A and B are shown apart, each in its own frame.
Chain A
Amino acid sequence: MRQNPIRSLATASILFLLLPLVVGATSFLLQTSAPPATRIPSNIAWTSETLARASGGDAFHGMLLARRCDHCHGAEGFSPAAATPNLAGIDRPSIWKQLEDFRTQKRISPVMQPIVASLSERDVADVAAYYSMLPNFPDPQDNRSFPQSAPQPAHVALASRLVSTGDGERGIPPCQACHGPVAYRTGAPALSTQNADYIVRQLQNFADNTRSNDINMPMRTIASLLTEEEKHALAEYYGSGLGMLPAAATAPR
């Protein structure tokens, strides 16, 4: 029987189409090494829809909701206690991500979880919008723990080096490349007005895996590379307000 050329071409094309299917199926079957149980650090992926959800909050409604945060985070977004984070002026996606992680049990805090449980998904974006709009300049009239007293000069030198250049030998990137003021990464909050005790506690929690909601584990990796002295030096650096200046201004000459 004579083969129809078009028919045989069509058959070949169909076989060609099926080839990746067959290859894919066999490689899938051959891959026998069982992956370990999946651990998901955070349910959030920074897609454009997520960013729209995170930054689409209503700041006025957020202001009404945020009155329940006043007691710990301060009426102006600056905490009276140094162990509680300052929220004034921190960008919307960062605040929104942490609140969402509290809600989905990805970040564990016995204080925050019951509070966030009372907020809807919409409320969380509203609160983030409100705090991001608060001014973050110092106000001596307000009852706030920021800024703390200046750290010892040795700690300033250590911290300003890590903030501005990092440590290439150990592979520690500079803090300011993600936490500002040089560049910002989505979900990385500005640290220039953050409290010292809060920063050092978070670095310790990242290092010993108590806090593990950073996407693709950058902070867990960096915190585990830092020594205890460096963690304290960095916290004092930011907590005393030096982070508001360009790092070159605080570096020793």
Chain B
Amino acid sequence: MRLKQLRFLLILTAVLCCIPATRFYEIDLPLFRFLRGQNHVDPLSLHLSGEFVESNLGTAREADGSITVRMIAQQYLFVPHCILVPAGVPIRLRVTSADAVHSLSFSDTNYAVKVVPSNVSETRLQFPHPGEYKMPCREFCGAGHYAMRSRLVVVSRDQFPNLQPDERGNCAAR
């Protein structure tokens, strides 16, 4: 009877050890992807599927009215290049990197987000007043690092476009 319980415990330990192993060896199976959660992405194939395909980038309005912003940091650009958010509304910012380690910072604020490839950095932000913030990269990322800047434009809540669920907003030049 003791032996049976010991065997059961051993199997259980082995199963539990598999969870850190999936992270370490980057095993790609649907179950492991599910266990890893939504904050694990493949930096090389962001454009093929998942949350960070190019049509899903930018500001999104969730069903409960909250705002989610999705961005990609890459050498040497943030995409989309200009983020549009309403003032006084909690914002969920989700950023991931396509290549190197970047760091997204906002001028005149204390916000800074470290962006690491294969991880989604999620941050909650709130901007009380309309205005414009510069978003430079603060982690040296390569030859074009010093030109890696984008903008964040905060507009008042009534000026913010009424985004449909399948619509993504930004204020890039196009």
Contact = CB atoms under 8 A, between A and B. Distances in A.
A182 interface: yes
B37 A20 contact: yes
Interface in B11-69: 12, 15-16, 34-35, 37-38, 42, 44-49, 51, 53-56, 60-63, 68
A75 interface: no
Nearest to A13: B12
Given A6-B5, A173-B76, A35 B56 contact: yes
Contact of A174 (B8, B46, B63, B144): B144
B75 interface: yes
A207 B174 contact: yes
A77 to B, nearest CB: 27
Contacts, number: 137
A32 B62 CA distance: 7
Interface SS of chain A: loop
Interface of A: 6-7, 9-10, 13-14, 17, 20-21, 24, 27, 31-43, 45-47, 165-169, 171-174, 176-178, 182-183, 185, 207, 209, 215-218, 220-222, 224-225
A37 B149 CA distance: 28
B165 A10 contact: no
B153 interface: no
A46 B153 CA distance: 33
A24 B38 CA distance: 8
A201 B28 CA distance: 41
Given A33-B63, A217-B54, A217-B79, A224 B72 contact: no
A168 B53 contact: no
